[in-house]
Amino acid sequence: PDVLARACGVCKSYGPVTALDGIDFAVTAGETVGLLGPNGAGKSTLLNLLSGLRQPDSGLVELFGRDPRSPLARQLLGTTPQATSVPATLRVRETVDFVGSHYADPVPTGELLDGFGLGPAANKQCGGLSGGQQRRLLVALALVGRPRLVILDEPTTGLDVEARENLWERLADYRAGGGTLLVTSHYLDEIQTLASRVVVINGGSVVADGQVDEIRSRVSVSRV
């Protein structure tokens, strides 16, 4: 199988805190993987390693078979780190144009914004968007370069029901077009609408990995 991202025996600590404890994890082309786990489980740390924002203390991390910090690998990745915020004074259209200009074949800005319900906000400054609009813009930016793999950390946090459904639709479109998706959530319900596979981590290790139904029968509560 075509492994797009993987971590083998990866450890990562922050001072005395062990965030990842020898974790093994891989994402194969065409999958939608839901990464679940309680706060502090190590989800963000794993995503940050896979997207090249941090380095492991030990073990191997690869993105498209390369060091995740390699520009060649990063060009094929679309991502929205949890902490990222939009540039306050740039207009929405300018922001999408700017990010898209880094890619060979970006999605046309108007098409992308319409898909995310942001067409009417195209000429607004990003700082003037609502919190939900900003989050949708960030996900749109993750998709603008037609990436082979998209990594999203809790993309629907703070969104109302309608915006949440719209976002899942756009991600379903991306997947239907052959895209591969790795997404974290606190909610199994949310993950199961889209994910083909669910990986549960806790204490920096994988504690369950399988099809949604399999995991559901093992994890009795919908909120992990």
Residue appearing with tokens 């065409």: 30
Closest CA to 136 of 158, 111, 107: 158
- Does the protein bind ligand ADP through residue 14 (CB under 6 A)? yes
With residue 117 as reference, give the H or E element that holds it: none
Tell me the window of 32-40, 71-79, 96-104, 107-115 that interacts with ligand ADP (CB under 6 A).
Answer: 32-40
- Does the protein bind ligand ADP through residue 32 (CB under 6 A)? no
| Rounded CA separation 133/120 (Å) | 11
| Rounded CA separation 48/7 (Å) | 12
Looking at the Cβ atoms of 45 and 134, the one nearer to ligand ADP is: 45
Among 37, 52, 115, 155, binds ligand ADP (CB under 6 A): 37
- Does the protein bind ligand ADP through residue 44 (CB under 6 A)? yes
Residue appearing with tokens 């899942």: 168
- Does the protein bind ligand ADP through residue 2 (CB under 6 A)? no
Q: Are the C-beta atoms of 78 and 143 separated by less than 8 Å?
A: yes
Looking at the Cβ atoms of 44 and 109, the one nearer to ligand ADP is: 44
Between helix 92-100 and helix 131-143 the angle, nearest 10°, is 20
- Does the protein bind ligand ADP through residue 115 (CB under 6 A)? no
> Residues touching ligand ADP: how many (CB under 6 A)?
11
Q: Which residues contribute to the site for ligand ADP (CB under 6 A)?
A: 14, 17, 19, 37, 39-45
